[in-house]
């Protein structure tokens, strides 16, 4: 009996024409990403695809933030090709491109052994909350605090985002703002945080969420959940206190991933915090 011999897997740069095949892979994994979500990721970053016999069997993407940091995400290998080293091949190709940068990613349980072997270490948790937005009471605001729509004078929001993440987030902020709606948390008329609501996956995502403290984060989330009661909403929380509160108000946690870094972790400004990610891929 002659055994079937597979042709080798070939890696190449991802192009716009690959988005249809990439969507098929994420759909196979039961990931919710729409064409618009993939296109946003593609426009902001770069990637590789793995092909066998002309068919896309794997994807991996990266996004650069300033001169020193990057994230990796959308690492997918089709079910029939898993366990053959394709994920490692794609990761090594991206890490070569990113030489000299600290690289962050959010890992599933299945992906953690590979990432650990590649030199990543665990530094945090992401709690994925989603479901029909609950009916919310009025936000509990402290004196001098207000939640209002983003205005033309709110040019500092991009800087708040970068300080909260420890990375230059200006490009991703501009792209996200153009694809969603933003409310600002102000205290004594000064912007101190914001929350962006945009279409993503099965409904809407509150992503990202930036605030000086948990009280401000709750006020921002209360605004968006209350405005969209009954609508499918998602929050990728990176704060355990926010995650616990979301459970209490009726937006359940459906899973977790682990944040990992290869190289020095970003140094964040302690005066401003990231409470929820723009996306698990983007960080």
Together in a domain, 143 and 70: no
Together in a domain, 196 and 264: yes
Return the pLDDT at 1: 44
Together in a domain, 178 and 270: yes
Q: Which residues of the chain have pLDDT under 50?
A: 1
Lookup result for tokens 């970003």: 266
Return the pLDDT at 3: 52
| Tens of pLDDT, residues 110-125 | 999 999 999 999 999 9
Cβ atoms of residues 72 and 115 within 8 Å:
no
- 25 in any annotated domain: yes
Together in a domain, 35 and 133: no
- 283 in any annotated domain: no
Together in a domain, 172 and 94: no
Which among 100, 116, 138 is the end of a domain? 100
**Cβ-based neighbours of 152, under 8 Å, separated by 6 or more:** none
Domain of 192?
Answer: 129-276
Which among 52, 80, 100 is the end of a domain? 100
- 218 in any annotated domain: yes
Cβ atoms of residues 218 and 242 within 8 Å:
yes
Return the pLDDT at 236: 98
Together in a domain, 141 and 239: yes
- 116 in any annotated domain: no
- 119 in any annotated domain: no
Together in a domain, 81 and 161: no
Q: How many CB atoms lie within 10 A of CB 118?
A: 16
- 106 in any annotated domain: no
pTM of the model: 0.95
| Tens of pLDDT, residues 222-239 | 999 999 999 999 999 999
Cβ atoms of residues 38 and 69 within 8 Å:
no
Together in a domain, 142 and 271: yes
How many folded domains does the chain comprise? 2
Together in a domain, 172 and 78: no
Distance of alpha carbon 156 from alpha carbon 200, whole angstroms: 25
């Amino acid at each position: 009996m002659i055994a079937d011999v597979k042709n080798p897997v070939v890696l190449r740069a991802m192009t716009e024409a690959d988005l249809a095949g990439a969507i098929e892979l994420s759909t196979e994994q039961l990931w919710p990403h729409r064409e618009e979500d993939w296109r946003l990721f593609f426009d902001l970053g770069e990637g590789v695809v793995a092909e066998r016999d002309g068919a896309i069997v794997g994807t991996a993407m990266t996004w650069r933030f300033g001169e020193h940091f990057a994230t990796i995400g959308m690492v997918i290998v089709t079910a029939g090709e898993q366990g053959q080293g394709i994920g490692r091949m794609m990761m090594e190709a991206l890490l070569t491109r990113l030489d000299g940068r600290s690289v962050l990613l959010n890992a599933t349980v299945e992906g953690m052994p590979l990432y650990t072997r590649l030199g990543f270490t665990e530094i945090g948790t992401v709690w994925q909350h989603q479901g029909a937005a609950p009916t919310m009471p009025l936000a509990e605001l402290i004196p001098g605090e207000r939640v209002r729509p983003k205005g033309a004078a709110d040019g500092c929001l991009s800087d708040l985002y970068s300080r909260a993440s420890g990375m230059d987030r200006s490009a991703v902020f501009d792209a996200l703002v153009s694809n969603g709606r933003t409310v600002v948390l102000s205290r004594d008329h000064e912007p101190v945080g914001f929350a962006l609501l945009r279409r993503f996956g099965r409904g809407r995502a509150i992503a990202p969420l930036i605030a000086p403290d948990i009280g401000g984060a709750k006020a921002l989330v209360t605004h968006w959940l209350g405005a969209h009661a009954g609508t499918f909403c998602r929050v990728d929380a990176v704060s355990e206190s926010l995650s616990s509160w979301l459970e209490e108000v009726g937006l359940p946690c459906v899973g977790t991933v682990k944040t990992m870094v290869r190289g020095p972790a970003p140094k964040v400004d302690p005066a401003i915090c990231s409470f929820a990610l723009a996306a698990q891929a983007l960080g």
